[in-house]
Chain A
Amino acid sequence: MDFDLSDEQRQLKDSVDRLLASAYGELTKRQGYMKEPNGYSAALWRQYAELGLLSVPFAEEHGGLGQGLTETMLLAEAFGRALAIEPYFATVVLGGGALRHSGNSALLSELVPSIVEGKLTLALAHQEAQARYNLADTATTARSDGKGGYTLEGEKRVALHGDSADKLIIAARASGGRAERKGVGLFLVDAKANGVTRRGYPTQDGMRAADITLSGVKVGPEAVLAGPETGLDVLEHTIDEAIAALAAEAVGAMAALHEMTVDYLKTRKQFGVPIGSFQVLQHRAVDMYASLEQARSMAFYATMMAGEPNATERRKATAAAKVQIGRSARHVGEQAIQLHGGIGMTMEYKAGHYFKRLTMIDMAYGDADHHLRELAKMGGLS
């Protein structure tokens, strides 16, 4: 297997690493971006657009760069390393993923050019309070008007960047029981449409999310992203790709956190020597390294399998990766704080912020325990 990057991939990685190193150099910059109206840096979002980052996964016929999941992985790792809070994941990976997998070329042609220019942000609102991690569990209803349009009613929870997104992608049920696989469609709704109420709030990791209430929201036939026959398949594939991207982001965050911990051990003195001269602390740093490398391997695996058309094989790989990512993230995060001592807990120091992001990544779309159960149900990795 060839894990070397192509020249183009290396250039992409270098340019985004350079941009983020200057934009996110000190933690105070991140805290400044969080205070902007949308909860992230509008200027940086424009720079992402200028660098072409927002066009990476979209097909050339729709105005994208037509690149693969490896490029998304490289970007996600860089975002993780920088602890970036711009809605790349929400708009390009989740929203863009749902668009791409729907194969709805009319909507792709209409929306992708604006996404690429940084003028349109998306939020995927599929989660509900009772659903736990079950993607099929959808109580929000989509009532057909008999002419291809629908009326949406229901409550959505924790839509990432849902408070600032221009358009929302809503999962709603047109038929069947609450957790049935069949009958869930994906609908594109303008965030300012009649009947849409959004309650935004900050999340633990410094990003934003929103709970969304839909009350008699009308959706025309042209805004049906994926009908009730295919909606759940589209959603599942989107989330599997999203988990691969999150895995890469976690690897970036863990790598940075590990580096800063090792640096701290080499600098901090006690008893007249750097504490990194103590074998017991060196061994802990090595165990963190082993956790990080296991996570990195599984993140590669998730990315390589995210395009797998056989949904069961893809889901197995995704679940296995999420298990390792969750375990490694907790181990690396907890050890980093322990090895830093009190400074690791302060708001002014980055270690705790990495740990918050890593914990949110573990919880997103099923934590390690959930995915271990799912993997066992599917018979494990063969």
Chain B
Amino acid sequence: MERDEAEHGSNEQPEDFDWAAPAAPSYFNYRKTTIYGGSNEIQRNILAKAVLGF
């Protein structure tokens, strides 16, 4: 990516920047993995009991 395009307010089309287009959709999509198989908080409850003996 050229420096000009990175500047705030630039209307230039980004070039050679193929990985950027799917980055945001991919990020939003993978939010779901923090819920898979029990949310992160449920995993913490499991560890608290199974490993730390609370």
A residues near B (Cβ < 8 Å) are 262, 265-266, 276-277, 279, 282-283, 285-287, 289-290
Contacts and interface: CB of A to CB of B under 8 A. Distances in A.
Contact of A277 (B41, B44, B52, B54): B54
Nearest first, the 5 closest Cβ-Cβ pairs linking A and B are: A282-B48, A286-B44, A286-B47, A283-B44, A282-B54
Contacts of A282: 44-45, 48, 52, 54
B24 interface: no
B53 to A, nearest CB: 8
A287 B47 CA distance: 10
B47 A289 contact: yes
B52 A279 contact: no
15 contacts: A262-B52, A262-B53, A262-B54, A265-B54, A266-B53, A276-B54, A277-B54, A282-B44, A282-B48, A283-B41, A283-B48, A285-B52, A285-B54, A286-B51, A290-B47
Given A266-B54, A286-B47, A289-B47, 9 more contacts: A262-B52, A262-B54, A282-B54, A283-B44, A285-B48, A285-B52, A286-B48, A287-B44, A289-B52
Contacts of B45: 279, 282-283
A276 B48 CA distance: 10
Nearest to A259: B52
Interface of B: 41, 44-45, 47-48, 51-54
Question: Which secondary structure dominates chain A's binding surface?
Answer: helix
Contacts of B54: 262, 265-266, 276-277, 282, 285
A282 B47 CA distance: 9
A289 B53 CA distance: 12
Contacts of A277: 54
A262 B41 CA distance: 18
A290 B51 CA distance: 11
Contacts of A279: 45, 48
A287 B43 CA distance: 11
Contacts of B47: 286, 289-290
Nearest to A274: B54
A279 to B, nearest CB: 7
A265 B51 CA distance: 14
B27 to A, nearest CB: 20
A288 to B, nearest CB: 9
A276 B49 CA distance: 11
A289 B51 contact: yes
A277 B52 CA distance: 12
Contacts of B44: 282-283, 286-287
A265 B52 CA distance: 11
Nearest to B46: A286
Contacts of A285: 48, 52, 54
A276 B53 CA distance: 10
Contacts of A287: 44
Nearest to B48: A282
A171 B32 CA distance: 54
Contacts of B53: 262, 266
A313 B54 CA distance: 42
A266 B45 CA distance: 15
Contacts of B41: 283
A238 B45 CA distance: 43
B22 to A, nearest CB: 21
A262 B47 CA distance: 13
Contacts of A276: 54
Contacts of A266: 53-54
Nearest to B49: A282
A280 to B, nearest CB: 10
Nearest to A265: B54
B30 to A, nearest CB: 19
Nearest to A287: B44
A290 B43 CA distance: 11
